[in-house]
Amino acid sequence: MNLDRIIKNKKTGKVLTNQIMSKYTTFNVGGKVDYIVYPKSVEKLIELIKILRSEKIKYKILGNGSNTVFNDEDYNGVIIKLDEFNDLHIKDTIIKVGSGYNLMILAHKLSRMGLTGIEFATGIPGTVGGAIYMNAGAYKSDMGYIVSEIKVLTPELEIKTLYNSDLDFHYRTSFLQENPGYICIEVTIVLKHGNKDIIMDLIEERRKKRLMTQPLEFPSCGSVFRNPPNDFAGRLIEECGLKGYKIGGAMVSPKHANFIINYENATGKDVRDLILYVKDEVKKKFDIELLIEQEFINWE
């Protein structure tokens, strides 16, 4: 495959070769990848996908890698990152933002402007596109509450608008997750005017609490399992006696049982094995099937 030359000739955007995915994921795990490409525009993204499809090269859109567990084996394909999709237009309470924009930075910026509704996202280290895919949320709120519409590239490579009611937002899931061929390009968020001091105090209070209750000093992907109805995954895992349980360099956090941390040079396999082990133990003890939040990539 001489993708390098093709992409350079077409001026697609920045291309990196022979990268290690552990640098691009918050678990800090994952093997080599042939190419990481940063398309400069939607037109360049479409051109790139057409080339990859015609050359039968596999590809995957990646945001900030904060919800993914990559295999340690090589990924023989292309990772597409939308970092260049980072335009931001703010008109009163209506915000149009590129899907590659960092959600935490956006949430802080808008909150500091006295806009309310996005405070919940100040501790979520993903991109705006990844947050739509996951319907990321916290404190009884999520993207579904603030997004009015998004622009997507369909699997047929057409640009389309999907409205909130099309997006099927539910607890940590959305239309995009159910239809992985769609790529989010731009997002429109609608907030309200609020009191800046109250908003910033709330954010600070929650930040302090997170630091005390979550193992943010270690690489992780945040909560590993969705909470089952009327219960907490963390409680179930703790009752199985799994806090501090290790496989290789991966450990169930002693601070928060629903976090698995890369304690000491964990491999992707350590992390995946530990996630599956915890899931099995909870099933055995409580007959509850925990749903995994993270996506396993390149394990097929």
Give the residue numbers annotated as catalytic, written as ranges: 172, 223, 293
Q: Which amino acid is at 7?
A: I
**In DSSP terms, which residues pair with 69 in a beta bridge?**
296
Q: Which amino acid is at 80?
A: I
Footprint on residues 225-284 left by ligand FAD (CB under 6 A):
none
Member of 12, 220, 258, 298 binding ligand FAD (CB under 6 A): 220
How does DSSP assign 102-141, residue by residue? BHHHHHHHHHHTTEES-GGGGG--SBHHHHHHHT-EETTE
* Largest pairwise CA distance in the chain: 58
| Nearer to ligand FAD (CB atom), residue 67 or residue 267 | 67
Beta carbon of residue 40, minimum distance to ligand FAD (angstroms, whole number): 15
Member of 176, 236, 278, 282 binding ligand FAD (CB under 6 A): 176
Beta carbon of residue 2, minimum distance to ligand FAD (angstroms, whole number): 26
Per-residue mark of binding to ligand FAD, 280-299 (x: CB under 6 A): ---------------x----
Does 126 sit near ligand FAD (CB under 6 A)?
yes
| Nearer to ligand FAD (CB atom), residue 152 or residue 242 | 152
Does 138 sit near ligand FAD (CB under 6 A)?
yes
Give CA angle at 104 (293, 111), nearest 5°: 130
2 token code pair: 């001489």
Q: Which amino acid is at 206?
A: R
Q: Which amino acid is at 258?
A: N
CA 23 to mean position of chain CA atoms: 15
Beta carbon of residue 172, minimum distance to ligand FAD (angstroms, whole number): 6
- H-helix or E-strand spanning residue 88: strand 88-91
Does 26 sit near ligand FAD (CB under 6 A)?
yes
Footprint on residues 72-91 left by ligand FAD (CB under 6 A):
82
Q: Which amino acid is at 243?
A: K
147-153 and 183-190: which strand pairing? antiparallel
| Nearer to ligand FAD (CB atom), residue 13 or residue 130 | 130
List interacting residues with ligand FAD (CB under 6 A).
26, 60-68, 82, 99, 123-127, 129-131, 133-134, 136-138, 176, 183-184, 216, 220-222, 295
